[in-house]
Structure 1
Amino acid sequence: MDDSARGALEFTAVQLAAVVAGLHLYWGIPRLVTAARIDQPIYWDPRPLLFVASAVGILAAVLLVRQRVLSRVRAYVLGIGLMLTYILSWAYWHLAGHTVVVPWIQRTPEPSHDTNPLFLLAEHLVGSPIDGVSKTAETLLLLILVALLYEEYTSGTDPSQSRLTADSPDGSEE
């Protein structure tokens, strides 16, 4: 992969990371504030805290890579893990019927999902615009991070010694 394609993918990854972080902050902060306002224990629904913490983590990782404190390879691996966690947790949450995930909460039972799991997830994607945008951005970011990591390991250089850990601002080796 040439440098311009890699640069375009890296730029797109940063933009998608910002979108993913922003959506998680948009969803998590109001619910976290509401939970704090009504003195709701965090274990009743830990999602708002997890969303806010992970979004702050994404933004911190972008800044740490920019400051060369965190290597890009490590950031790719962490980002892949987080995007998989987002996507698989979201799917589990909806396929398990929401309340099964947090069994200690007494809620009214939700209607059972007696449909194809793929159709059920598609209904949630279409029914909630924030879910659709979020899962699309997370999936695209996952694919880009996998491509960047793959390219890094197939480029013929040792990733621990590559430009990703010791490059200068202009891209030349120091």
Structure 2
Amino acid sequence: MKDSLLSPVKGGEVLDFGDYVVEVVASLHSRNANYSVVFPGVRLTRPEHRPENISELPEGDTLAFQVTVKGGPSVFLMGDSDFVERNLTGLAPDVAMIPTTTSSSSTYDHVPRLLRALDMPRVVVPVHWDNFEVELRNPSRTDEKSRKSLAELVAAVRGVSPKAKVVIPDYLTPHTFG
């Protein structure tokens, strides 16, 4: 990708691309049971080598994004499971793509606070619940811990927002949210 096509963001930007708008939201990385980040640090923008595993992807400047199609739905995508509640207030997406909560058990009242801050989205899509260090294939490769985490997230969403539709995505399968 050409550097001229890249634009650094920090959170707070609202970028108009014609048919859709992208809002950049400053966020937080997941915390472990010791209330710390597993891989602290910041990845260099020009790494000397391609990362080979998750430990080579240090935390730094976590972001979430809301994409709003003009005249269509808005989709919120959160890559890690901790968040700044104040940064989410007012977004009110139609679809919220939120990560499982395995590593966020140290975050107080995680799912209820998150869904309330997002104004109870009508569709929730769990993300970050699979093994993202392996090739994509259906069905996804998961271990027992990941399956349990996914089930816990789905139960928590249904407990807080019983009318929300929960969509477990298949890889490389388009979904329509209208």
Query: Structure 2 length normalisation: TM-score?
Result: 0.29
Which structure: greater helix fraction?
Answer: 1
Larger RCO (CA within 8 A; separation ≥ 6)? 1
State the structure with more CA Rg: 1
Q: Indicate the structure with greater strand content.
A: 2
